[in-house]
Chain A
Amino acid sequence: MENAQPEKGTSYILHNSRLELNDPGFSKIVLQKIQQERNRKIKIQLWIRYSLIMVSLLLVLLFVILSSNIDLGQFSSLLSNEDSAQLQGLFGYFILPLLLLLGFKRLLDTRIRN
Protein backbone atom coordinates (compact mmCIF):
# COMPACT_ATOMS: atom_id res chain seq x y z
CA MET A 1 0.00 0.00 0.00
CA GLU A 2 2.06 2.90 -1.26
CA ASN A 3 1.08 6.33 -0.01
CA ALA A 4 1.73 9.48 -2.02
CA GLN A 5 4.35 11.74 -0.51
CA PRO A 6 2.72 14.32 1.77
CA GLU A 7 3.51 17.91 0.95
CA LYS A 8 4.47 19.19 4.38
CA GLY A 9 4.54 18.59 8.09
CA THR A 10 5.66 15.59 10.10
CA SER A 11 4.25 13.14 7.55
CA TYR A 12 6.41 14.79 4.91
CA ILE A 13 9.52 14.48 7.09
CA LEU A 14 8.77 10.87 7.99
CA HIS A 15 7.94 9.83 4.46
CA ASN A 16 11.58 9.06 3.78
CA SER A 17 11.79 6.77 6.78
CA ARG A 18 9.45 4.41 4.96
CA LEU A 19 10.87 0.90 5.08
CA GLU A 20 10.34 -1.83 2.56
CA LEU A 21 10.82 -5.53 2.84
CA ASN A 22 12.86 -6.00 -0.31
CA ASP A 23 12.59 -9.75 -0.39
CA PRO A 24 10.79 -11.04 -3.48
CA GLY A 25 10.46 -14.51 -1.96
CA PHE A 26 8.87 -13.27 1.25
CA SER A 27 5.28 -14.13 0.34
CA LYS A 28 6.39 -17.55 -0.81
CA ILE A 29 8.16 -18.26 2.49
CA VAL A 30 5.11 -17.15 4.48
CA LEU A 31 2.84 -19.27 2.32
CA GLN A 32 5.10 -22.30 2.77
CA LYS A 33 5.01 -21.83 6.54
CA ILE A 34 1.23 -21.52 6.41
CA GLN A 35 0.98 -24.65 4.28
CA GLN A 36 3.08 -26.53 6.87
CA GLU A 37 0.89 -25.17 9.63
CA ARG A 38 -2.21 -26.25 7.71
CA ASN A 39 -0.86 -29.76 7.15
CA ARG A 40 0.01 -30.05 10.83
CA LYS A 41 -3.52 -28.97 11.74
CA ILE A 42 -5.07 -31.47 9.31
CA LYS A 43 -2.86 -34.27 10.68
CA ILE A 44 -3.90 -33.51 14.25
CA GLN A 45 -7.57 -33.48 13.24
CA LEU A 46 -7.17 -36.80 11.41
CA TRP A 47 -5.42 -38.35 14.39
CA ILE A 48 -8.19 -37.26 16.71
CA ARG A 49 -10.86 -38.54 14.35
CA TYR A 50 -9.14 -41.86 13.75
CA SER A 51 -8.31 -42.35 17.41
CA LEU A 52 -11.99 -41.96 18.20
CA ILE A 53 -12.86 -44.54 15.54
CA MET A 54 -10.26 -46.95 16.91
CA VAL A 55 -11.52 -46.55 20.47
CA SER A 56 -15.10 -47.10 19.29
CA LEU A 57 -14.09 -50.25 17.39
CA LEU A 58 -12.21 -51.56 20.40
CA LEU A 59 -15.27 -50.99 22.54
CA VAL A 60 -17.42 -52.86 20.00
CA LEU A 61 -14.92 -55.70 19.97
CA LEU A 62 -14.93 -55.84 23.75
CA PHE A 63 -18.72 -55.86 23.73
CA VAL A 64 -18.79 -58.75 21.21
CA ILE A 65 -16.34 -60.76 23.29
CA LEU A 66 -18.21 -60.15 26.51
CA SER A 67 -21.66 -60.79 25.04
CA SER A 68 -20.58 -64.05 23.34
CA ASN A 69 -19.46 -65.57 26.63
CA ILE A 70 -16.08 -66.51 25.27
CA ASP A 71 -13.73 -67.61 27.97
CA LEU A 72 -10.38 -66.03 27.32
CA GLY A 73 -8.91 -68.98 29.17
CA GLN A 74 -9.66 -70.91 25.98
CA PHE A 75 -6.27 -69.78 24.76
CA SER A 76 -4.54 -72.06 27.17
CA SER A 77 -7.05 -74.87 26.76
CA LEU A 78 -6.50 -74.77 23.02
CA LEU A 79 -3.07 -76.21 23.52
CA SER A 80 -4.52 -79.33 25.08
CA ASN A 81 -7.95 -79.39 23.42
CA GLU A 82 -8.18 -80.08 19.72
CA ASP A 83 -11.85 -79.18 19.52
CA SER A 84 -12.19 -77.40 16.16
CA ALA A 85 -15.59 -75.88 17.00
CA GLN A 86 -14.02 -74.06 19.89
CA LEU A 87 -11.19 -72.91 17.64
CA GLN A 88 -13.72 -71.66 15.10
CA GLY A 89 -15.56 -69.74 17.78
CA LEU A 90 -12.40 -68.15 19.03
CA PHE A 91 -11.36 -67.23 15.49
CA GLY A 92 -14.77 -65.81 14.58
CA TYR A 93 -15.34 -63.82 17.72
CA PHE A 94 -11.88 -62.69 18.65
CA ILE A 95 -9.06 -63.14 16.13
CA LEU A 96 -10.94 -62.12 12.98
CA PRO A 97 -12.23 -58.79 14.40
CA LEU A 98 -8.77 -58.15 15.82
CA LEU A 99 -7.17 -58.72 12.41
CA LEU A 100 -9.79 -56.47 10.81
CA LEU A 101 -9.05 -53.82 13.40
CA LEU A 102 -5.30 -54.00 12.79
CA GLY A 103 -5.84 -53.85 9.04
CA PHE A 104 -8.08 -50.83 9.42
CA LYS A 105 -5.51 -49.12 11.64
CA ARG A 106 -2.81 -49.73 9.04
CA LEU A 107 -5.05 -48.24 6.37
CA LEU A 108 -5.64 -45.13 8.47
CA ASP A 109 -1.93 -44.77 9.30
CA THR A 110 -1.08 -44.83 5.60
CA ARG A 111 -3.69 -42.21 4.89
CA ILE A 112 -2.42 -39.92 7.67
CA ARG A 113 1.16 -40.29 6.41
CA ASN A 114 0.08 -39.23 2.94
Chain B
Amino acid sequence: MELFYIRQIIEGDISHFPYFVETYKDMAFAIAYRITNNREDAEEIVQDAFVKAYRSLAKFRQDSKFSTWLFRIVVNLALTKIKRNEKKIASDIEISELPDNMIESVEAMYRGLSETEQRTLINTALDEMGREDRLLLTLYYLNENSIDEIKDITSISPDNIKMKLHRARKKMYGRLNKRLEPAIKETV
Protein backbone atom coordinates (compact mmCIF):
# COMPACT_ATOMS: atom_id res chain seq x y z
CA MET B 1 0.00 0.00 0.00
CA GLU B 2 2.84 2.37 0.87
CA LEU B 3 4.41 1.89 -2.55
CA PHE B 4 1.12 2.70 -4.22
CA TYR B 5 0.80 5.88 -2.14
CA ILE B 6 4.38 6.84 -2.92
CA ARG B 7 3.77 6.49 -6.65
CA GLN B 8 0.61 8.59 -6.38
CA ILE B 9 2.48 11.32 -4.49
CA ILE B 10 5.30 11.35 -7.04
CA GLU B 11 2.68 11.78 -9.75
CA GLY B 12 1.40 14.86 -7.91
CA ASP B 13 -1.43 13.58 -5.70
CA ILE B 14 -0.31 14.70 -2.25
CA SER B 15 -3.57 13.67 -0.58
CA HIS B 16 -1.87 10.43 0.51
CA PHE B 17 1.01 12.14 2.27
CA PRO B 18 -0.84 12.58 5.61
CA TYR B 19 -0.91 8.78 5.85
CA PHE B 20 2.89 8.77 6.18
CA VAL B 21 2.86 11.71 8.60
CA GLU B 22 0.28 10.07 10.85
CA THR B 23 1.97 6.67 10.74
CA TYR B 24 5.54 7.74 11.42
CA LYS B 25 5.43 11.09 13.20
CA ASP B 26 5.68 9.67 16.73
CA MET B 27 8.57 7.33 15.94
CA ALA B 28 10.37 10.07 14.03
CA PHE B 29 9.78 12.42 16.93
CA ALA B 30 11.18 9.89 19.43
CA ILE B 31 14.33 9.56 17.32
CA ALA B 32 14.78 13.32 16.95
CA TYR B 33 14.11 13.88 20.64
CA ARG B 34 16.58 11.21 21.75
CA ILE B 35 19.27 12.95 19.71
CA THR B 36 18.50 16.59 20.54
CA ASN B 37 16.92 16.22 23.99
CA ASN B 38 14.71 19.17 23.13
CA ARG B 39 11.01 18.99 22.26
CA GLU B 40 10.83 22.09 20.04
CA ASP B 41 13.94 21.16 18.10
CA ALA B 42 12.68 17.61 17.67
CA GLU B 43 9.32 18.82 16.39
CA GLU B 44 10.98 21.16 13.91
CA ILE B 45 13.28 18.38 12.73
CA VAL B 46 10.37 16.02 12.12
CA GLN B 47 8.54 18.67 10.08
CA ASP B 48 11.64 19.34 8.01
CA ALA B 49 12.24 15.62 7.59
CA PHE B 50 8.78 15.08 6.11
CA VAL B 51 9.21 18.02 3.73
CA LYS B 52 12.63 16.73 2.71
CA ALA B 53 11.19 13.25 2.24
CA TYR B 54 8.51 14.68 -0.03
CA ARG B 55 11.09 16.65 -1.99
CA SER B 56 13.31 13.60 -2.49
CA LEU B 57 10.58 10.99 -2.84
CA ALA B 58 11.44 10.38 -6.49
CA LYS B 59 14.94 9.41 -5.34
CA PHE B 60 13.60 6.84 -2.85
CA ARG B 61 14.97 3.59 -4.25
CA GLN B 62 12.45 1.32 -2.54
CA ASP B 63 15.15 -1.21 -1.64
CA SER B 64 14.47 -0.37 2.01
CA LYS B 65 11.31 0.44 3.91
CA PHE B 66 9.98 3.99 3.68
CA SER B 67 10.30 4.28 7.46
CA THR B 68 13.99 3.35 7.38
CA TRP B 69 14.62 5.96 4.72
CA LEU B 70 12.62 8.58 6.62
CA PHE B 71 14.37 7.84 9.93
CA ARG B 72 17.73 8.24 8.23
CA ILE B 73 16.66 11.71 7.13
CA VAL B 74 15.54 12.46 10.70
CA VAL B 75 18.88 11.30 12.15
CA ASN B 76 20.87 13.37 9.63
CA LEU B 77 18.81 16.50 10.26
CA ALA B 78 19.02 16.04 14.03
CA LEU B 79 22.79 15.57 13.92
CA THR B 80 23.18 18.66 11.74
CA LYS B 81 21.01 20.61 14.17
CA ILE B 82 22.95 19.63 17.27
CA LYS B 83 26.28 20.25 15.56
CA ARG B 84 25.07 23.75 14.80
CA ASN B 85 23.76 24.39 18.32
CA GLU B 86 26.30 22.53 20.33
CA LYS B 87 29.04 24.63 21.86
CA LYS B 88 31.13 21.94 23.36
CA ILE B 89 29.23 19.48 25.38
CA ALA B 90 31.33 17.39 27.69
CA SER B 91 31.39 13.71 26.95
CA ASP B 92 28.57 11.64 28.40
CA ILE B 93 28.54 11.12 32.13
CA GLU B 94 30.32 7.91 33.01
CA ILE B 95 27.66 5.32 33.60
CA SER B 96 28.50 1.97 35.04
CA GLU B 97 27.11 -1.08 33.27
CA LEU B 98 25.06 -3.45 35.35
CA PRO B 99 26.15 -7.10 35.47
CA ASP B 100 23.77 -9.53 33.73
CA ASN B 101 22.77 -11.28 36.97
CA MET B 102 21.31 -8.06 38.40
CA ILE B 103 19.19 -7.13 35.42
CA GLU B 104 16.26 -9.27 36.51
CA SER B 105 16.12 -7.74 39.98
CA VAL B 106 16.09 -4.23 38.49
CA GLU B 107 13.26 -5.26 36.22
CA ALA B 108 11.35 -6.61 39.21
CA MET B 109 11.83 -3.36 41.11
CA TYR B 110 10.74 -1.40 38.07
CA ARG B 111 7.57 -3.48 37.78
CA GLY B 112 6.63 -2.47 41.31
CA LEU B 113 6.37 1.19 40.34
CA SER B 114 3.29 2.97 39.07
CA GLU B 115 3.11 3.78 35.35
CA THR B 116 3.83 7.47 35.99
CA GLU B 117 6.84 6.60 38.15
CA GLN B 118 8.06 4.19 35.51
CA ARG B 119 7.74 6.85 32.83
CA THR B 120 9.64 9.45 34.86
CA LEU B 121 12.33 6.96 35.81
CA ILE B 122 13.01 5.60 32.35
CA ASN B 123 12.99 9.04 30.73
CA THR B 124 15.39 10.41 33.35
CA ALA B 125 17.65 7.40 32.87
CA LEU B 126 17.65 7.86 29.10
CA ASP B 127 18.28 11.61 29.39
CA GLU B 128 21.42 10.85 31.38
CA MET B 129 22.77 8.46 28.80
CA GLY B 130 24.79 9.26 25.70
CA ARG B 131 22.83 10.29 22.60
CA GLU B 132 24.00 7.33 20.55
CA ASP B 133 22.96 4.86 23.27
CA ARG B 134 19.56 6.52 23.55
CA LEU B 135 19.09 6.46 19.80
CA LEU B 136 20.05 2.80 19.42
CA LEU B 137 17.81 1.71 22.29
CA THR B 138 14.89 3.67 20.85
CA LEU B 139 15.37 2.29 17.36
CA TYR B 140 15.83 -1.32 18.41
CA TYR B 141 13.55 -1.79 21.41
CA LEU B 142 10.91 0.85 20.84
CA ASN B 143 10.58 1.32 17.09
CA GLU B 144 11.48 -2.35 16.60
CA ASN B 145 13.89 -1.70 13.75
CA SER B 146 16.11 -4.61 12.77
CA ILE B 147 19.91 -4.42 12.99
CA ASP B 148 20.06 -4.04 9.19
CA GLU B 149 17.59 -1.19 9.28
CA ILE B 150 19.54 0.51 12.06
CA LYS B 151 22.65 0.13 9.92
CA ASP B 152 20.86 1.98 7.10
CA ILE B 153 19.57 4.66 9.45
CA THR B 154 22.75 5.36 11.41
CA SER B 155 25.54 4.16 9.08
CA ILE B 156 27.01 2.11 11.94
CA SER B 157 28.17 -1.40 11.04
CA PRO B 158 25.96 -4.30 12.27
CA ASP B 159 28.68 -5.71 14.56
CA ASN B 160 29.21 -2.32 16.09
CA ILE B 161 25.46 -1.85 16.54
CA LYS B 162 25.18 -5.16 18.40
CA MET B 163 28.08 -4.31 20.64
CA LYS B 164 26.84 -0.79 21.33
CA LEU B 165 23.29 -2.02 21.96
CA HIS B 166 24.55 -4.60 24.44
CA ARG B 167 26.48 -1.96 26.35
CA ALA B 168 23.69 0.64 26.11
CA ARG B 169 21.23 -1.84 27.57
CA LYS B 170 23.51 -2.59 30.49
CA LYS B 171 24.12 1.11 31.04
CA MET B 172 20.39 1.73 31.06
CA TYR B 173 19.89 -0.94 33.72
CA GLY B 174 22.84 0.52 35.65
CA ARG B 175 21.20 3.92 35.58
CA LEU B 176 17.85 2.49 36.68
CA ASN B 177 19.53 0.53 39.46
CA LYS B 178 21.23 3.66 40.75
CA ARG B 179 17.90 5.45 40.95
CA LEU B 180 15.97 2.49 42.34
CA GLU B 181 18.48 1.48 45.02
CA PRO B 182 17.79 4.39 47.42
CA ALA B 183 14.05 3.80 47.14
CA ILE B 184 14.52 0.13 47.96
CA LYS B 185 16.74 0.93 50.93
CA GLU B 186 14.10 3.34 52.24
CA THR B 187 11.41 0.69 52.15
CA VAL B 188 13.59 -1.90 53.89
List chain A positions with a Cβ less than 8 A from chain B.
1, 3, 8-21, 23, 26-27, 29-31, 33-35, 37-38
Contacts and interface: CB of A to CB of B under 8 A. Distances in A.
Contact of B119 (A8, A16, A27, A35): A16
B26 A21 contact: yes
B43 interface: yes
B144 A3 contact: yes
A21 B122 contact: no
Contacts of B71: none
Contact of B51 (A1, A27, A30): A30
Contacts of A33: 47, 50-51
A17 B21 contact: no
A21 B172 CA distance: 24
Nearest to A19: B30
Q: Is the interface of B mostly helix, strand, loop or mixed?
A: helix
Given A11-B142, A15-B142, A30 B119 contact: no
B25 A26 contact: yes
Contacts of A15: 142
A1 B47 contact: no
B141 A38 contact: no
Contact of B14 (A8, A12, A14, A35): A35
10 contacts: A11-B142, A13-B172, A14-B137, A14-B138, A18-B26, A30-B21, A30-B47, A30-B50, A33-B50, A34-B14
Given A8-B107, A19-B33, A20-B29, A31 B169 contact: no
B147 interface: no
A30 B22 CA distance: 11
A10 B141 contact: yes
Interface in B170-187: 172-173, 176
A3 B30 CA distance: 14
A11 B169 CA distance: 10
Interface string B40-57: 000100110011001100
Given A10-B137, A21-B46, 12 more contacts: A1-B23, A10-B172, A13-B173, A14-B122, A14-B142, A15-B142, A16-B122, A17-B126, A17-B138, A23-B43, A31-B21, A34-B54
B123 interface: yes
